[in-house]
Structure 1
Amino acid sequence: MEHSDVIILGAGAAGLFCAGQAGQRGVRVALLEKADAPGKKILISGGGRCNFTNLGAGPANYLSANPHFAKSALARYTPADFIALVERYGIAWHEKTLGQLFCDGSARQIVDMLLEECPREQVALTCGVDIAAVARGEDGQFTVTASDGRIWRAPALVIATGGPSIPKMGASDFAYRLARQFGLKVAEPRPALVPLTLGGEDVLFRELSGVAAPVRARAGKAEFAEAALFTHKGLSGPAILQVSSYWRHGDPVAISFVPDAATDWLVDAKRDRPRATLRTLLRERLPARLADALTDRLGLDRELGNLSDRDLRRAQGQLADWRFVPNGTEGYAKAEVTAGGIATGELSSRTMEAAKVPGLYAIGEAVDVTGWLGGYNFQWAWASGHACAEALAQARG
């Protein structure tokens, strides 16, 4: 039986960072990981270069049943703090777009840095741990038993096992099952930052598989101006992944294929270029295959001078607000993260500790805090892990 000050379940971004931060504060950590190596999701992130934070990360960039929950942790550990850490290790980085920061080299550099941040005398990492049982005794001690009989005990336990997105990497709903075991509520989990699938009349757009274009996509009140990609199953690309976190089954997704066009651009074009066709104008703005598909569906393939202003305004309206009704998503297998999770109402926003169960903490993706695409979820992992580590050090005295 191994004794420590805290057992952290999961050696992903949040768990690794929390272990290092706690260890540096004198906390003895048992860091347990189910996979055969730590940080596997980190390694595949950002195309292998790890989009490790976003310069603009703030509470407004996160989806949660309680939009205020993330404020405390995010304020106390900022993108600038993590950038300083990255630079201390001499890791070269660049801003790709929209504040998204990537390693110039490899995501392996981030994993190696996080491991190096864990003091060897304070943090004991054990991989390949298949957890059979977790219990809390009357003495307040947590006991974690592995399927091979190994046992760890500590007065504190941190759930950092993430959500079920990307199951081929070993992801599961373990965090939610464990939370419910201890009486904590779980906000309904669902795939997020995930491609959407199309059926019905919209299935015709699948013929555009591989075509991408800059658009403005909207689901509910959330709106993002980035690229959309048509796939053989439906819609993907950054703009679609972003709105997928806000989309609910049965709701439409609205896309503006002319996000920068003036309000009356077709009517104006009719005055200036009456011999031009709608197909010609759309091909000037969009990939030819997409322009042709939209023109065919609008049924207005004639010279603008032969079209009424009313028809042109109808076309303007539809091109600026084209409604798709997805029939689903590509699920956890293709979801970058999981929305929902351990309810924030169960946790302290300052310490990440469960109010009902002293000594039990939850951080990272396991919690009902979901960031936008572009480094925001990593920043939540660092911020929540840091907040938890501070609390663990204070609790240890």
Structure 2
Amino acid sequence: MAPPRTFDAIIIGAGAAGMFCAALAGQRGRRVLLIDHSPEPGRKIIISGGGRCNFTNVGAGAGNFLSANPHFAKSALGRFAPADFIALVDKHGIAWHEKTLGQLFCDGSSKQIVAMLLDECAAGGVELAFGQAATVEHRDGGFEVGLGAKTARAPALVLATGGLSIPKLGATSFAYDVARRFGLKIVEPRPALVPLTLPGEQALFKTLSGVSAEVVASAGTGRFREAALFTHRGLSGPAILQVSSYWKHGEPVTIDFLPDRQRGWLRQAKREEPRASLRRIVGRLLPERLAETLLEQVGAGGDVGNIADRTLEDIEKRLAGWQFTPNGSEGFAKAEVTIGGISTAELSSKTMEAKRLPGLYAIGEAVDVTGWLGGYNFQWAWASAHAAAQAL
């Protein structure tokens, strides 16, 4: 076998974090090899944001992320802000627009972001090895990576292969497996930003498949005002995806179906329109099918003038604090990201380098840092990649 080719850094995983880290390190004069088992780089980037890539969020900060150590992300995010990535997008002439809640999307295609990252890699002289499965060994103070009959060696290895979400795009446990082999702890991975499923006794709501409404959804310490969508399996939509990251099995998800209504609004409606039906009053505020189903569930109907004030108060409370108890989620197949991963206790928050094995780095979704829906996970990819690249 030919002697190994030598590099300053080998990066495994050509997703958002891996490509950006390779580009930045290469442009700092490092000799970089970027590897991916897929023949196409950036596959999750391409499908993200409905094909338009929600590439960052203008409000991204450490408070928008979940981790066993909520302070870990502060350093990297503080040193590479959304404005820094926006400047790169602008430099490449990629048109973008801001949607609700600070979310930035390409006007055109998410493929523009992949092309930009590959152009930046080319500018840094990064060598690419796509469509090749890698094996990793640590010996003589460096890392040896096998690529079929060839071997590459470097003093630095960056794990950027992401988490377990969307296996059909090639997601594997590679980063966790390598980290475990080198003695790093893993926070148990689970699906995040994922639709939740409802048990059979709540099957009535499955008749509402396709109906959505703006709500406030809560689970654990997470509380989000966005759209919720009923599906044939349970609950989805941005509000549900957000709280899924905070939800734990056996716990309820609470939904306020009428977040703009003040306490006593039904009694006021009774005074103003005593002959109006309850269904008509609630149906003005919610999709008709949803209003009908909720009122069937509370067993209330008829003209509002004939309903006791106490009963109206109870109906208000139910509509403002409706509890669903999911029996699970749609799993990694439908999860946008993975919560958990390589423990932040094992890594330097400044450089993303493993404390117990110098030269080993982990970035992006492989690490136990998970963002909200809306461009936050991409910002973590850029920021963690930048932090590692400055140390390579």
Q: Deviations over 1:106-136 (max 9, x none)?
A: 00110000011114563101101112x3111
Q: Does 1:169 align with 2:169?
A: yes
Q: Does 1:97 align with 2:100?
A: yes
| Mapping 1:106-121, distance limit 5 Å | 106-119=109-122
Amino acid in structure 1 at the alignment position of 2:146: T
Moved more, 222-231 or 293-302: 293-302
Partner of 1:202: 202
The residue number in structure 1 matching 2:44 is 41
Structure 1 consecutive aligned stretches of length 4 or more whose deviation exceeds 6 Å: none
Where 1:91 maps in the other structure, the secondary structure is coil
CA distance, structure 1, for counterparts of residue 39 and residue 137 of structure 2: 24
Given candidates 60, 79, 83, the residue that maps to 2:82 is 79
Is structure 2 residue 305 aligned with structure 1 residue 312?
A: no
| Match of residue 241 from structure 1 | 241
Shift of 1:302: 1.3
Map 1:139-158 → 2, pairs under 5 A: 139-146=140-147, 148-158=148-158
Counterpart of 2:101 in 1: which secondary structure? coil
SS in 1 for 2:77: helix
Q: In the alignment, residue 360 of structure 2 is paired with which amino acid? A: L
Q: Which residue of 2 aligns with 1:128?
A: 131
**Structure 1 residue aligned with 2:272:** 272
Give me the whole-angstrom Cα distance separating, in 1, the residues matched to 2:112 and 2:143: 33
Q: Does 1:346 align with 2:349?
A: no
CA distance in 2, matches of 1:390, 1:270: 65
Deviation at 1:264, TM superposition (A): 1.1
% identical equivalent positions:
65
- Conserved 8 A contact 1:24-1:119: no
**Corresponding residue number in structure 2 for 1:253:** 253
* Partner SS for 2:20: helix
Q: In structure 2, what is the Cα distance between the partners aligned to 1:254 and 1:13?
A: 34
1:200 Cα deviation (Å)? 3.4
Cα deviation, residue 376, structure 1: 0.2
Q: Does the 8 A contact of 2:28 with 2:124 survive in 1? A: no
Alignment correspondent of 1:10: 13
What TM-score results when the alignment is normalised by the length of structure 1?
Answer: 0.97
> CA shift at 1:275, angstroms?
1.0
* Per-residue deviation, 1:201: 2.1
1:395 is matched with none
- Shift in Å, 1:149: 2.1
| Matched residue SS, 1:355 | coil
Counterpart-to-counterpart distance in 1, 2:202 and 2:122? 55
Matched, 1:51 2:54: yes
In the other structure, the counterpart of 1:367 is 367
- Helix, strand or coil at the partner of 2:34: strand
Partner residue, 1:232: 232
Letter in structure 2 aligned against 1:115: L
The within-5 A match list for 1:206-221 is 206-221=206-221
CA distance, structure 1, for counterparts of residue 16 and residue 37 of structure 2: 14
Structure 1 residue 96: Cα displacement? 1.3
CA distance in 1, matches of 2:210, 2:333: 20
Q: Secondary structure at the match of 1:117?
A: helix
> In 2, distance between residues paired with 1:151 and 1:211?
54
- CA distance in structure 1 between the partners assigned to 2:294 and 2:239 by the alignment: 19
- Relative to the length of structure 2, the TM-score reads 0.98
- CA deviation after TM superposition for structure 1 residue 312, in Å: 0.6
Give the counterpart letter for 2:313 in structure 1. R
